[in-house]
Amino acid sequence: MDLQYSEQDREFRAKARAWLSANVPAEARPAHGHASATFDRDWQRKLYDHGWAGVSWPKEFGGLGLSGLQQVLWYEELARARAPHYINTTYVAMMHAGPTLIARGTDEQKAFHLPRILSGESLWCQGFSEPNAGSDLASLKTRGVVDGDDIVVTGAKMWTTDAQHGDYQELLIRTDPDSQRHKGLTWVICDMKTPGIDIKPIRTMLGDEHINTVFYDEVRIPIANVVGEIGQGWSTALATLSFERGLGFIGDQLELYERVGRAVDLAGKLRFDDGTLAIDDSAIAQKLASLKSDAMAIRAMTLADIAETDRTGQPGPKGSMMKLLVTNTHKALSEVVGEMMGWDFLEFNGDRSAHPWTYDFLWSWIFSISGGTNEIQRENIADRVLSLPRAR
Amino acid sequence: MYLVPDDEELAIASAAAEYLADAMPIDRLHAANPADLKDDVRNALGDMGWYALALPEADGGSGLSAIEHALFFREVGRQCGPVEVMAQCLAAMTVADADLRAQITSGAVGVSLAIVDGDSLRLLGSPAARYALQVTRNEACLLDLQGAQVSAKSSLDLALSMAVVPAGCPVVATRAGDHVWMMGQLATAAQLVGISEASLEQIVEYAKVRETFGKKIGSWQAVRHPCADMAVRLEAARSQLWYAATAIKEGSLDAGVHLDAAKHQANVAALANTDSNIQLHGGIGVTDEHHAHLYMKHSLVLAKLFGGRREILARLLHAELED
């Protein structure tokens, strides 16, 4: 075992730190709507123009082709610089759609979409989940009927983050009406401007409208937009999800330590009504210190997993374990901060930059449900890490 | 950067696992008078060189690093090994006199562990030990117990004897600095990780064979999900243990901070995993013949050694890390 960074790693970190300190936007990201998407596109464009877009993408497709360890350094520097968060309206394009097209797309699909994704020109959304399906992705019903050169899609998708900003969608549909479960599915690129698409926002408990139900009424999608093969969509979808479960949350894993540090700083300033400084309250001090050790352990786990993946070329089975730990730690941290902030914590207008801790507290539930609920992660661990008898 | 044991490190771990499963299997704790390191086992471990694993070659040791030390003690933990194995190792690091050091590394004399307890010292380990090792963050001292007034106490942990002795035993060797403390903290964290692993493996094996309501219990989410949580706690503790061991080996300035985090993670994982192991076994989990309670009782002792919860959290709160 060793903790050594190579000379190239150190140089990369220094270069990233210098560039970020000069280029991170001073203004906060707008909380909602069109302005937030514009902010994200602009930041992505800036990364692209300066050669920082696509840290995990291969060089031949315009990415940086970084090793896992250098990606760690990049996300650590993003967190340190308080750069715009990478889980924004570009997330699905950068972390799902791009990698899926690289792995399974045709040359034409790659040539058209990859540069647009990298430069922030195209935003994507995900169309996997459906009403009444929840975590049971394979029970989806939205149907696609082949008609000439098109597939005609009718049905509905649910929980679609940023559908209102998406230029394209990774859409999973059932193209064989007699098929069951994960057979007979197809993964297609859906242009969100196609006639017949109707987007209805779902207001969340954060008070915002970033998730949506998307209805499809005889939406015609060219067969040329199929990624993988017709009927083989499940395999393509699993590839998409594997990107999310591999390094998809790496930034959150590494950012946690910074967040605990901010909470400790805050505890050194806040006083309770009786004049006690929050940090002098032993229950709060102990919880914060314990969360700091959790954040350190999550980082150690991330580094071990990435080192192993860099060496073997195969992602380890630890993605579910890390997501579960990160979401639980994230939530626990918000709760401690909530306790020490008192009434101020209960003031909230939906603006992340105005009320960051309250926003993150509410967000912690979205985090522990989206991308696979905590319960689904536990099922994955029971199956894949512990090889327990199957529940289903 | 590579934070998983490599092939050579794994070979040492597997040699240790094989040897210890034979020399001090956890089954011994179900026999009569199971506590402590018996003379023959102490000598046998000495003959094999296990006490001198991380001792420099110039001092008669194998010259291996904190990583092998951690890998070895993880295996000691899996068997709820006697606490003297650690005392013996750490005493060898404390003593400068070559003759006395050789007596310790060979297992010719026994060493127990001494902890300050009010005005007295609490001794953990065999009442027949000639010496006791007392370790703080600044200094390690080897005390001579010959002629000391030792009062035996009862012990919850079947793997060790407890006694108290008035303070003021003669000091026969000291070593200044925090090296012995760090190696002790690492060894303790590693043993707790070993116990966390053994507890998880035990319940997973059981969940694959035991049936209730017509199904294997491992297919019920009421069992699967707590097992998954055990695996996650273990993975966090184990990852941080490897990080800390590597930081010590490489002389990182913040190695002590990583070690504190490793000990805390190991404390939490062992206490929670031994608890879940008992609970998920149902009735059989509370029987004397089962291993589950042995792991739990031994964890309670190890969690207090080399940094209990309050002490570690107080230090961690404002600790700083390097890049």
pLDDT at B19: 98
Quote the strand ranges of chain A, DSSP E: 124-127, 143-147, 150-161, 168-174, 185-191, 197-202, 211-222, 226-227
Give A205-236 as a DSSP string.
TTS---EEEEEEEEEEEEGGGEES-TTBHHHH
What's the 3-state SS for B78-122? HCCCCCHHHHHHHHHHHCCCHHHHHHHHHCCCCEEEEEEECCEEE
Task: Tell me the per-residue pLDDT of B172-197, one tens digit each, with 9 for 90 and over.
Answer: 999 999 999 999 999 999 999 999 99
Residue-wise pLDDT tens digits, A304-318:
988 888 888 777 678
How sure is the predictor about A244, in pLDDT bands with cuts at 50, 70 and 90? low
CA distance A380 to chain B (A): 9
Using pLDDT thresholds of 50, 70 and 90, give the confidence band for residue A209.
confident
A3 contacts chain B (CB < 8 A): yes
| Residue numbers in B near A257 (CB within 8 A) | 321
Q: Residues A284-313: what's their mean pLDDT?
A: 92
CA–CA dist A187, A241 (Å, integer): 13
Query: What residues 53-82 of chain A have any CB closer than 8 A to a CB of chain B?
Result: 69
The whole-chain average pLDDT of chain A stands at: 93
Q: Quick one: A180 exposed, middle or buried, by C-beta within 10 A (0-12, 13-18, 19+)?
A: exposed
Residue A263 scores a pLDDT above 80: yes
Instruction: Give the pairing type, strands B139-144 and B211-212.
Output: unpaired
- CA gyration radius for chain A? 22
Active site residue A209: no
String of DSSP letters for B218-261: GGSHHHHHHHHHHHHHHHHHHHHHHHHHHHHHTT-TTHHHHHHH
Spatial separation of the C-alpha atoms in residues B151 and B60, rounded to whole Å: 35
Report CA Rg, chain B: 19
pTM to 2 decimal places = 0.95
CB contact under 8 A, B228 and A378: yes
Q: Tell me, rounded to whole angstroms, the distance of Cα B118 from its chain centroid.
A: 24
Beta strand pairing call for B131-135 and B111-117: parallel
Predicted local distance difference test score (pLDDT) of residue A247 = 65
Q: Which residues of A touch B232 (CB under 8 A)?
A: 321, 324-325, 381
In chain A, % of residues over pLDDT 70: 98
The answer to whether B4 contacts A1, with C-beta atoms less than 8 Å apart, is yes
Residues near A106 by Cβ (< 8 Å), separated by ≥ 6? A224, A227
SS3 B163: strand
> Which residues from chain A sit within 8 angstroms of residue B277, using beta carbons?
none
- CA–CA separation, B183 vs B176, rounded Å? 14
Determine whether the interchain pair A382/B224 forms a contact, defined as Cβ–Cβ distance below 8 Å.
yes
A297 with B240: Cβ contact below 8 A: yes
pLDDT at B229: 98
Q: How far is A383 from chain B (nearest CA, A)?
A: 9
Query: Which tokens belong to B125?
Result: 């380990």
Question: Torsion angle, CA of A43/A47/A49/A55, rounded to 10 degrees?
Answer: -150
Closest residue, chain A, to B224 (C-alpha): A382
Of A152, A154, A161, A159, nearest to A132 by C-alpha is A159
State the count of interchain CB pairs (< 8 A) between A and B: 157
Q: With an 8 Å Cβ cutoff, are B314 and A285 in contact?
A: yes
CB contact under 8 A, B250 and A304: no
- The pLDDT of B141-164, averaged and rounded, is 97
Main-chain dihedrals φ then ψ at residue A391, nearest 5 degrees: -85, -25
| From A244, A255, A335, A347, active-site residue | A244
Are A386 and B229 within 8 A, CB to CB? no
Residue type, B156: L
Average pLDDT over residues B38-48: 97
Please tell me the predicted confidence (pLDDT) of residue A168. Answer: 98
Residues of A in contact with B252 (CB under 8 A): 3
In this model, does residue B48 exceed pLDDT 70?
yes
Which run of H or E residues covers position A80?
helix A68-80
